[in-house]
Amino acid sequence: MANASVNLDSGCPSASSASNQADQSALGSGRPRVYQLKAVECSRIRPWQIQVIKIETEDNRETRSAKDALLLWCQMKTAGYPEVNIQNFTTCWRDGLAFNALIHRHRPDLIEFHKLTRSNATHNLQQAFNIAEQHLGLTKLLDPEDVNTENPDEKSIITYVVSYYHYFSKMKALIVEGKRVGKVLDNCIEAEKIINRYDALASDLLDWIEKTIAVISNQKFANSLTGVQQQLQAFTTYCTIEKPIKFQEKGNLEVLLFTIQSKLRANNQKPYVPHDGKLISDINKAWERLEKAEHERGVALRKELIRQEKLELLAQRFDHKTTMRQAWLNENQRLVSQDNFGYDLPAVEAAMKKHEAIEADIASYEERIGVVVELAAEMEAEGYYDIRRILARKENILGQWGLLKELVAGRRTRLEKNLALQKTFQDMVYMIDWMEDTQVQLLSKDFGKHLLEVDDLLQKHSLQEADITVQAERVETLNTAALKFTTVEGYQPCDPQVICNRVNHVSSCLEELKQLAAKRRAELEESRQLWAFFQ
């Protein structure tokens, strides 16, 4: 912009003429000019006292008269107003519209310009002068009749218009200054808002960090594989979705603090220092603690996941083994619950051998039952979430195992009873066979052909009688042993009537044998007597 300088000269026509010549010289050069009027201290100036204002162009090579510059200013300010065309400081002001236009341009609240007409010049002039005096504080240098004439005094109008210029220039300067101060205040207010925002965001972020650390550090693990998997998924979601948002907020806080400091420097204010605990360094430290807690939580979660996976595999192995053990136990319980021992000694002996094989198989299976118990104990020690079901299945297996051993022991007892009875029966059969053989001998018709032969037969018969006596005792023992099975409580290996029938049969055979032995002795004694008589 051009610098304006003010030269005061005594008012005279030659000064005005010189100014006009300088103006024509400047216009003749064809170069564009920018004029600027500088405020002039204005006191009351008489119409015959004229200030000639000289202004310098941008290149400082030319000067123009203040009149032309003032005229240009008036034209610019009244441009666009209807019926206002300022070309001079005389006749163009007669109707008063130019004065009103200048006032309306700067203070539209004081004048309703659209109601003014050229035909009412006195009113227009009076209104402009009064408003300028009352509202703008400008001295009323002119009266309407001084202007509304055929030849208004140019210098008087210039002097009066200069007062307008000074006032409005000062008003503009105040507005500019007010805007500058307002801008500073706006910047201060904006900086304060940003500071409050920084403080709130920092508080929110720090609160979130502390709460997150508390949650991460104190959260217990779910006691199941599915639960831990869900916790790990939630932790992953936090790390990939929630945390990046907060990390962005953390970065935004740094940018926000930089913006605050920049604005405060621009306003020549002291740098902003956040409250204790809300410095960027404090936030960074809190963030480091958060990341440490995250790392520890992540490591612990993965360890717990591995532990739960191991427990789940143990549970699957346990279930598989218990299912197999249960099937085996059920089958063996079914086997040992069958008493198809047979009805003779060979069959019972075969059943006993088969039973002994079952016992051996069961004894070897005890180690496998122990594996189930060990798996259950390991899961219980590790705190498996479904340990009640595991322990229930273990107890069921142990119960079935105990029942199987009881069944096996009971079956052995029954088998032993059957075996003992069948052996007794077998001995009875042997005894009957012996008695039948002996009976054949006792029924012999050989009573001797001479005395010596009869004595020999008697001697042999005495031996048979001795054998019968011995076998009679054995028969008594067998019968006693067999009859015990008829009175035993609980399991009876055979129908008691069958046992009694066999005992009776053996006893009758023995009695018949005794009778035959007595009869033969009598016959042999008779034969001896006969041969002794013949001797």
DSSP state letters, 503-533: HHHHHHHHHHHHHHHHHHHHHHHHHHHHHHH
37 compared with 405, residue with greater pLDDT: 405
C-beta of residue 37 within 8 angstroms of C-beta of residue 51: no
C-beta of residue 438 within 8 angstroms of C-beta of residue 468: yes
User: How far is Cα 520 from Cα 526, in angstroms, rounded to an integer?
Assistant: 10
pLDDT of residue 66: 76
The stretch 352-358 carries a mean pLDDT of: 92
pLDDT of residue 218: 83
The CATH code of the domain at 443-534 is: 1.20.58.60
78 compared with 181, residue with greater pLDDT: 78
What fold is seen in the domain 316-419?
A: Methane Monooxygenase Hydroxylase; Chain G, domain 1 (1.20.58)
| pLDDT > 70 fraction of the chain, expressed in percent and rounded | 88
The stretch 465-479 carries a mean pLDDT of: 93
pLDDT of residue 268: 82
User: How far is Cα 382 from Cα 223, in angstroms, rounded to an integer?
Assistant: 10
277 compared with 39, residue with greater pLDDT: 277
Specify whether domain 13-175 bears CATH 3.40.630.30.
no
CB contact set of 521 (below 8 Å; sequence gap of 6+): 458, 461, 465
Among candidates 526, 516, 511, 523, which has minimal Cα distance to 476? 511
pLDDT of residue 512: 93
CB contact set of 503 (below 8 Å; sequence gap of 6+): 479, 482, 483
Among candidates 355, 359, 323, which has minimal Cα distance to 342? 355
Q: Which ranges in 267-384 belong to alpha helices (H)?
A: 280-336, 345-381
User: How far is Cα 132 from Cα 102, in angstroms, rounded to an integer?
Assistant: 10
pLDDT of residue 64: 53
pLDDT tens for 114-158 read 999 999 999 999 999 999 999 999 999 899 999 999 999 999 999
Query: Identity (one letter) of the amino acid at 354?
Result: K
pLDDT tens for 6-44 read 332 333 233 333 333 333 333 333 333 333 333 333 334
- Ramachandran assignment for 30, one of left (phi > 0), alpha (psi -120 to 50 degrees), beta (any other): left
Among candidates 202, 213, 204, 211, which has minimal Cα distance to 280? 202
pLDDT tens for 297-342 read 999 999 989 999 999 999 999 999 999 999 999 999 998 888 888 8
The CATH code of the domain at 187-306 is: 1.20.58.60
Write the burial class of residue 178 (CB in 10 Å: 0-12 exposed, 13-18 middle, 19+ buried). exposed
Query: Identity (one letter) of the amino acid at 103?
Result: I
pLDDT of residue 339: 84
pLDDT of residue 333: 92
Cα 5 from chain centroid (whole Å): 78
DSSP state letters, 261-280: HHHHHHTT-PPP-PPTT-SH
C-beta of residue 96 within 8 angstroms of C-beta of residue 129: no
pLDDT of residue 56: 39
* Local structure of residue 37 (DSSP, 8 states): P
- Residues 35-71 as b/e (b if ≥16 CB within 10 A, e otherwise) read bebeebeeeebebeebbbbbbbbeeeebbbbbbbbbb
Structure tokens at 271: 């740098």
- Residues 450-481 as b/e (b if ≥16 CB within 10 A, e otherwise) read ebeebeebbeebeebbeebeebbeebeebbeb
Among candidates 367, 383, 407, which has minimal Cα distance to 307? 383
**The tokens 């002068």 sit on which residue?**
129
Domains 187-306 and 316-419 share a fold: yes
Residue 428 has pLDDT above 70, yes or no: yes
Q: What SS3 class is residue 18?
A: helix
* pLDDT band, very low/low/confident/very high, at 436 (cuts 50, 70, 90): very high
Among candidates 192, 200, 219, which has minimal Cα distance to 298? 219
The stretch 441-468 carries a mean pLDDT of: 90
The stretch 202-224 carries a mean pLDDT of: 90
Among candidates 324, 469, 340, 474, which has minimal Cα distance to 415? 340
pLDDT tens for 59-105 read 443 445 778 899 999 999 999 999 999 999 999 999 999 999 999 99
C-beta of residue 234 within 8 angstroms of C-beta of residue 222: no
Query: Identity (one letter) of the amino acid at 230?
Result: Q
pLDDT of residue 181: 72
Q: Looking at 176-185, 210-219, 289-298, 333-342, which range is the least confident one?
A: 176-185
Domain positions in the chain are 13-175, 187-306, 316-419, 443-534
377 compared with 12, residue with greater pLDDT: 377
The stretch 358-377 carries a mean pLDDT of: 94
